[in-house]
Amino acid sequence: MAADGEERTSVRTYVPEYQKENWQSHADELDMSQSEFVRTMVQAGRSGFELPESDTGESSASAEETEPRSPGANPRGNGLKDRVVEALADGDHCDWDDLVAALTDDIEQRLDETLQELQSEGRVRYSGRHGGYVLDE
């Protein structure tokens, strides 16, 4: 039987279908259930956030002090460690650059897509004059 405060209950939310598919895909990559993935991402997003100050001006206890933490960011193991082992599984030697490339294979594509999206939203712009991207506020 679960200890006090350890009982499980459901939480329901509604997201666009594409977002659910993205979450499921990412959860599959991490060998996690979708519920486990969402719970982990919510807890990771809340890390370091403190409750607002009370009426007396004193800072309230952090969320971590007022409620138990969920398991770590990857309860089924170290995702990076698993990916390194997978990259080395063929038995060949892999130099540093090849290993970094294997672990970050889609980061350039994802970054390009994200920057395009942010630019189309008017949140980021590229300045040729300054040679880089900047928040467009």
The model carries a pTM of: 0.36
Mean pLDDT on 104-110: 77
Task: Indicate the domain borders of the chain.
Answer: 11-74, 77-105, 106-137
Phi, psi of 53 (to 5 degrees): -65, 150
Cα separation, 102 vs 90, whole angstroms: 13
Task: Of 44, 46, 22, give the one whose Cα is nearest residue 34.
Answer: 22
Q: How confident is the model at residue 137 (pLDDT cuts 50, 70, 90)?
A: confident
Cα separation, 12 vs 14, whole angstroms: 7
Per the structure block, which two tokens stand in for 80?
A: 């990076």
Cα separation, 111 vs 131, whole angstroms: 17
Q: What is the model's pLDDT at position 100?
A: 83
Give, in order, the Cα–Cα distances in Å from 28 to each of 12, 17, 81, 122: 20, 16, 16, 32
Q: What is the model's pLDDT at position 60?
A: 47
pLDDT tens readout for residues 90-101: 888 888 888 888
Handedness of CA 59, 63, 66, 72 (dihedral sign): negative
pLDDT tens readout for residues 69-90: 445 555 555 677 888 888 899 8
pLDDT tens readout for residues 33-61: 888 888 888 887 776 555 555 555 554 44
What DSSP line would sit under 91-120, residue for residue?
A: S----HHHHHHHHSTTHHHHHHHHHHHHHH
The conformation of residue 59, written as its DSSP 8-state character, comes to: P
Q: What is the model's pLDDT at position 46?
A: 73
Residue 22 has pLDDT above 60, yes or no: yes
Q: Which residues pair with 125 in a beta bridge?
A: 134
Mean pLDDT on 106-114: 81
pLDDT tens readout for residues 10-19: 888 888 888 8
